[in-house]
A and B are shown apart, each in its own frame.
Chain A
Amino acid sequence: MADDTVIGIEKVSKRFGGFVAVHEADFAIARGKFFSMLGPSGCGKTTTLRMIAGFEQTTSGRITLEGKDVSRVPPYKRNVNTVFQHYALFPHMSVFDNVAFGPRSRRTGREEVSKRVRELLDVVRLSQFAERKPGQLSGGQQQRVALARALVNYPSALLLDEPLGALDLKLRQAMQLELKRIQREVGITFVYVTHDQEEALTMSDRIAVMNEGHVEQIASPEEIYDKPASVFVAGFIGVANLLRVTVDSVNGEQATVKFPDDTRVSASSAGASFAIGSPATLMLRPERIRLSMTEPSTKGARLGASVAQLTFQGPLVRTELRTSDGSEIVAHIGPDDDLPALRPNDQVWLTWDEDAARLLPIADERLGGEAREIEEIGQVHFARSDA
Chain B
Amino acid sequence: MAGAVESAPKRGRFAPYGLLSPGIIWLTLFFLVPVAILLRAALSDQPERFVPSDLDFTWKWSNFSDGLDRFGPQFLDALRNALIAAAIVAAITVAVFVARRDLWHRIRVRLVGALVAAFFATYIITSTIDGWGDHFQRSFLYAGIATLLCIAIGYPLAYVIAFRGGTYKNLLLGLVVVPFFTTYLIRTIAWQTILFDEGPVVGFLQDVGLFGDSDRLLATPGAVIGGLTYNFLPFMILPIYVSLEKIDRSLVDAARDLYSTPARAFQKVVLPLSLPGVFAGTLLTFIPASGDFINAELLGSPTTSMIGNVVQNQFLVQLDYPTAAALSFVLMAIITIAVLVYAKVLGTEDLTG
Contact = CB atoms under 8 A, between A and B. Distances in A.
A101 B268 contact: yes
A153 B258 contact: yes
A53 B352 contact: no
Contact of B258 (A74, A85, A101): A101
Contact of A76 (B250, B251, B257, B353): B257
Nearest to A101: B258
Nearest to A97: B100
A84 B268 CA distance: 18
A91 interface: yes
Nearest to B273: A92
Interface string A59-102: 00000000000000011110011101110111111100100011
Interface in B255-277: 255-261, 264, 268-269, 272-273
A311 interface: no
Nearest to B249: A88
A91 B264 CA distance: 17
Contact of B250 (A84, A94, A105): A84
Contact of A88 (B99, B102, B250, B273): B250
B353 A149 contact: no
A381 B255 CA distance: 35
B254 interface: yes
Contact of B352 (A82, A84, A91): A91
B125 interface: no
A146 to B, nearest CB: 9
Contacts of A54: 256-257
A153 B259 CA distance: 9
B258 A102 contact: yes
B253 interface: yes
Given A88-B248, A92-B353, A135-B353, A53 B257 contact: yes
B273 A91 contact: yes
Nearest to B257: A82
Given A94-B102, A104-B99, A88 B258 contact: no
A155 to B, nearest CB: 9
Nearest to A78: B257
B93 to A, nearest CB: 13
A133 interface: yes
Interface in B98-130: 99-100, 102
A106 interface: yes
Nearest to A102: B258
Contacts of A97: 100, 102
Most buried by A among B251, B254, B258: B258
Range of interface residues on A (Cβ < 8 Å): 20 to 34
A133 B100 CA distance: 14
B197 to A, nearest CB: 50
Contacts of A90: 251, 254-255, 268-269
B351 interface: yes
A76 B259 contact: yes
A81 B256 contact: no
Contacts of B260: 76, 101, 105
B253 A82 contact: yes
Contacts of B253: 53, 55, 75, 82, 84, 88
Nearest to B275: A92
Interface string B259-300: 111001000110011000000000000000000000000000
A105 B102 CA distance: 17
Nearest to B102: A94
Nearest to A50: B253
Contacts of A85: 250
Contacts of B251: 88, 90
Nearest to B254: A88
Interface string A17-56: 0000000000000000000000000000000000001110
A359 B257 CA distance: 44
7 contacts: A77-B259, A90-B255, A92-B352, A101-B258, A101-B268, A105-B260, A133-B353
Given A88-B253, A105-B264, 17 more contacts: A54-B256, A54-B257, A55-B257, A75-B253, A76-B261, A77-B259, A81-B257, A88-B254, A90-B268, A90-B269, A92-B272, A92-B273, A92-B350, A101-B268, A102-B258, A105-B260, A106-B259
Interface of B: 99-100, 102, 248, 250-251, 253-261, 264, 268-269, 272-273, 350-353
